[in-house]
Structure 1
Amino acid sequence: MQGYQRKQLLERVGREGATVGASIPEEIDVQGESIDLRTFVFEIKRRETVPAGERDRVETAKRNLRRERRQRYQRLEEADISYEEGQELADAIVGLDRALEALESLGSADLNQEKQVQEAADQKRWMSFLKKALGHEEADSGTGRAGRFQ
């Protein structure tokens, strides 16, 4: 592969939005093990949130996919390969990125839900503080200022 060809492929892989329109590979070899990647991603994505029992499996898959991506990128960057092999590597890297984006977006759904719960708890604590500070909580219970000044 010529230097300019390698540079083009590396730029393609590193381009923001490279995954737009890209498809997740049907099957991929990760660490010597064949994985039905598309099926796995769609199975997990079908759920709105990742069940607690599946989180470890998803996190392990993301780590393995990141490692595989790094290895393939390094090979594309440094190995003495043909342009066709480089194109295949670039396609695979973009597909891995697409799968990782899909799996990462699951975490944001959990984070959004966690954020909403946290905000609701913060609001409840704030309202409780305001009631105490303004004396409304004590007046409601009959032992507040209103009871003392009568």
Structure 2
Amino acid sequence: MREYERKGLLERVEREAATVGARIPEEIEVQEEPIDLQSFVFEIKRRETVPPGERDRVERAKRNLRRERLERLEHIEENEVSYERGEELAASIIGIDRALEALEGLNAPDPETEAERQAAADRKRWMSFLKKALGRDDAGGGRTRF
């Protein structure tokens, strides 16, 4: 593979919006073991929450996917493959990234919980601001001297 082709593949893989519109591969081989990646991700995402017993399985899958992504990326970086194989690896890396994004989203709090947390933080900041603006110190609630 030519150097500019290799650099182009690497740039495509590392592009921030690379996963936009990308599909999760139906099946992928991780450490020489085939995994039905698409069905696994959809099965996990379909649930409201991930049960405690499944969390270990999801975390293990994410670790394995990250490891596989790194191995595939190294093949391109070290120029060990033909351009055609590099194209296949780049597409699979983007698919792995898409699956990882979907699995990482499971750890995010639901929007209502996040909104409540933000509202509580906003109230705390507002009260702190009011105390300072009104000249009250934190210890006794009295006025501070200027």
TM-score bracket, normalised by the shorter chain, equals 0.7 to 0.9
Q: Deviations over 1:28-74 (max 9, x none)?
A: 01111110000000000101211111100000000000000011001
**Matched residue, 1:24:** 24
1:1-150 matches, within 5 Å, as 1-109=1-109, 113=113
Structure 1 residues 110 and 32, CA gap change in structure 2 (3 angstroms): farther
Greater mean alpha carbon deviation, residues 105-114 or residues 8-17: 105-114
Separation in 2, partners of 1:36, 1:57: 14
Matched-pair contact (CA < 8 Å) for 1:49–1:110: no
Identity of aligned residues (%): 66
User: What RMSD, in angstroms, separates the aligned Cα atoms of the two structures?
Assistant: 2.5
Give the Å deviation of 1:80: 2.4
Superposition TM-score, scaled by structure 1 size: 0.73
Structure 2 residue runs of 5 or longer lacking an equivalent are: 124-146
Separation in 1, partners of 2:112, 2:33: 33
Separation in 2, partners of 1:114, 1:35: 33
Give the Å deviation of 1:112: 7.4
Structure 1 residues 80 and 42, CA gap change in structure 2 (3 angstroms): same
Matched-pair contact (CA < 8 Å) for 2:45–2:102: yes
Superposition TM-score, scaled by structure 2 size: 0.75
Report how many residues are paired.
123
Which one has a larger percent helix, Structure 1 or Structure 2?
A: 1
